[in-house]
């Protein structure tokens, strides 16, 4: 039986150094962050591409990431990750078509967009409602999900109760988010991402060294692992094939809103885009993020997940190994922190610090985004238009505190990373297309967006919480997703055609501000397609080299090189 582990002096030294670096960066940035609201919320629009790209990687890498990937692999195999791999297409579209438009808009946040694009009371209502809805409601849910993973890690690794985990997370996140502002978050992200990846590789090393695993070669030859290695799901199970591949790659990426993968850009990704020193730095940083996020970053977690199939073959074995963990929390995502219990003292402190880094980087991203929404898009716009720069910073800092408290209260009520992921997808289903078209189809108005948000939320909640008790036929997750998409899209398109468009002066002003044109769209779509082929090829090549399948790895590497070279002249034409 594997119980919790105890930290020794060297572990505590590693953790102490981690916290010292974290606080040191925040303090170094605190004076400049308090200078004005522009610097506090957008780092003075001075960030270089490499910092932006790494910061995006850190913000999207949470304690939930490794846990969720492990749950997917244990459910059906590596191929279930198409549920999020498909969002590469979303990211590439944002990079090559929408990133320039966001920079040209001059907005302080993606919420400010609404009054740049729409007019009248409807636009004001949409901006205020969206600021509260995303800044508080969705932020609390996603941050709570991240903290759920931290709770599981704390209970499995160290036997720490959930409220201790929540308290430590809250205090540390509040200190460095409130002190350093967005500039501090960007610089800290660079440090945190390095720590995260070191910890991931350390965890992988000791997972492979486990006697039951017997090293990399033996693990890869294990029949259970062999059955989970394929990049594409088997056609032998049509439901799984449709759910984890067809739906994500055909529909989900462009018609589902998901935090961090918003069609057309949004949230903490756009916040980092808007902090870039130029359009070129914005694009380059976004490309770096996509390459690292999909093709490089997850592999140590995937391989550790494969090892977990051998050490903990089912949920019963997990519960038996960790009898003190709440049985309700024993799901597939628990297997990743379970594997970390085999890391010996000395290195254990490094792994613990890496988990904290993953936690704090994502929590800080959501706190920074939420404070920006509430301070600039709600407080200054609707409560105190005359608010000074200093007042906005104070509001932003207090927002960080409130969001952290609410997220900590919600986290213990959640159960599984995969379950919450599917629910968030359903709530955002059917809204993605409107975020892509609103830059170009001037018929769309504020009521179109209000309708999309309201209908998707109501239908998703009904199907998730009410429908199962009505005695109807069972609906799988992908069935619910398609139903929400269909109803939501029909509703907002209908409202768009039945209500008047935004007033002409506002439409003309917006179009002249963002300067969207056919040249940018056509070459941007071509760049998106070629870049997506390149990054998917890099991702497949990485896997096949790791698997030792030299022939197909060589083919995928060649495709990556050719598509990468083909992208160069396309980008030249795009930037003319």
Burial class (CB in 10 A: 0-12, 13-18, 19+), 373: buried
Instruction: DSSP letter for 109, please.
Output: S
Q: Whole-angstrom Cα distance, residue 179 to residue 27?
A: 7
pLDDT value at 417 more than 70: no
pTM: 0.82
Contact of 434 with 460, CB cutoff 8 Å: no
Contact 404, 174 (CB under 8 A): yes
For residue 371, give the nearest of 58, 134, 45 by alpha carbon. 134
Name the nearest CA neighbour of 67 among 171, 145, 122. Answer: 145
pLDDT tens by residue, 367-383: 777 888 888 888 988 88
Identify whether the C-beta of residue 268 lies closer than 8 Å to the C-beta of residue 98.
Answer: no
Q: Residue 194 and residue 58: Cα distance in Å, rounded?
A: 9
Asked whether residue 495 carries a pLDDT value surpassing 90, the answer given is yes
Residue 40 reports pLDDT greater than 70 = no
Which numeric CATH code is attached to 9-249+258-414? 1.20.1730.10
Collect all residues with Cβ–Cβ distance below 8 Å to 173 and sequence separation of at least 6. 360, 363, 364, 367, 400, 404
* pLDDT average, residue stretch 177-199: 77
Mean pLDDT of 407-413: 80
pLDDT exceeds 90 at position 237: no
d(CA 266, CA 252): 16
Indicate if the pLDDT at residue 1 is higher than 50: no
Question: How many whole angstroms separate alpha carbon 210 and alpha carbon 311?
Answer: 8
Confidence (pLDDT) at 279: 75
Do 276 and 106 contact (CB within 8 A), yes or no?
no
Q: How far apart are CA 72 and CA 486, in angstroms?
A: 26
How many C-beta atoms lie closer than 10 Å to residue 18's C-beta? 21
Q: Distance between CA atoms of 286 and 279, rounded to whole angstroms?
A: 11
**Which tens digits make up the pLDDT trace of 457-475?**
899 889 887 888 888 888 8
Structure-block tokens of residue 230: 């394929």
């Amino acid at each position: 039986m594997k119980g919790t582990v105890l930290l020794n002096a060297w572990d505590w030294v590693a953790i102490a150094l981690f916290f010292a670096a974290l606080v040191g960066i925040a303090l170094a940035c605190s004076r400049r962050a308090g200078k004005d609201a522009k610097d506090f919320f957008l780092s003075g629009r001075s960030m270089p591409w490499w910092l932006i790209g790494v910061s995006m990687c850190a913000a999207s890498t949470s304690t939930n990431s490794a846990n969720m990937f492990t749950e997917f692999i244990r459910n059906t195999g590596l191929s279930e990750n198409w549920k999020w791999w498909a969002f590469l297409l979303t990211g590439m579209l944002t990079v090559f078509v929408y990133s320039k438009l966001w920079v040209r808009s001059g907005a302080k946040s993606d919420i400010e967009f609404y009054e740049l694009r729409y007019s009248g009371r409807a636009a004001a209502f949409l901006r205020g409602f969206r600021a509260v809805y995303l800044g508080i409601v969705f932020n609390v849910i996603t941050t709570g999900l991240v903290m759920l993973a931290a709770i599981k890690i704390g209970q499995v690794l160290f036997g720490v109760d959930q409220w201790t985990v929540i308290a430590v997370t809250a205090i540390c996140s509040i200190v460095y988010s409130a002190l350093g502002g967005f500039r501090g978050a960007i610089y800290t992200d660079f440090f945190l991402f390095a720590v995260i990846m070191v910890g991931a590789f350390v965890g992988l090393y000791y997972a492979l060294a486990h006697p039951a695993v017997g090293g990399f070669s033996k693990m890869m030859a294990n029949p259970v692992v062999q059955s989970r290695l394929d990049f594409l799901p088997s056609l032998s199970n049509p439901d799984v094939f449709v759910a984890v591949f067809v739906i994500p790659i055909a529909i989900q990426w462009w018609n589902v809103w998901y935090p961090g993968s918003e069609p057309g850009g949004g949230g903490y990704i756009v916040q980092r885009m808007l902090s870039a020193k130029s359009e070129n730095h914005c694009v380059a940083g976004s490309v770096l993020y996509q390459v690292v996020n999909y093709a490089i970053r997850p592999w140590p977690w995937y391989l550790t997940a494969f090892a977990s199939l051998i050490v903990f073959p089912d949920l019963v074995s997990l519960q038996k190994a960790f009898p003190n963990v709440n049985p309700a929390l024993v799901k597939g995502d628990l297997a990743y922190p379970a594997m970390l219990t085999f890391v010996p003292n000395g290195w254990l402190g490094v792994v613990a610090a890496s988990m904290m880094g993953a936690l704090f980087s994502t929590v800080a991203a959501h706190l920074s985004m939420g404070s920006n929404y509430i301070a600039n898009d709600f407080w200054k716009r609707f409560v105190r238009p005359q608010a000074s720069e200093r007042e906005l910073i104070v509001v932003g800092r207090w927002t960080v505190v409130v969001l952290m408290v609410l997220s900590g209260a919600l986290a213990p009520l959640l159960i599984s990373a995969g379950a919450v992921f599917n629910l968030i997808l359903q709530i955002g289903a059917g809204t993605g297309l409107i975020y892509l078209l609103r830059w170009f189809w001037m018929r769309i108005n504020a009521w179109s967006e209000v309708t999309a948000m309201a209908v998707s939320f109501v239908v998703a909640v009904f199907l998730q919480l009410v429908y199962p008790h009505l005695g109807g036929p069972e609906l799988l997750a992908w069935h619910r997703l398609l139903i929400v998409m269909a109803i939501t899209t029909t509703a907002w398109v209908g409202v768009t055609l039945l209500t008047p468009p935004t007033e002409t002066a506002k439409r003309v002003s917006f179009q002249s501000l963002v300067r969207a044109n056919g040249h940018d769209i056509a070459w941007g779509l071509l760049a998106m397609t070629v870049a997506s082929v390149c990054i998917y090829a890099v991702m497949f090549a990485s896997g096949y080299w790791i698997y030792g399948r030299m022939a197909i790895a060589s083919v995928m590497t060649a495709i990556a090189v050719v598509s990468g070279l083909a992208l160069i002249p396309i980008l030249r034409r795009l930037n003319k």
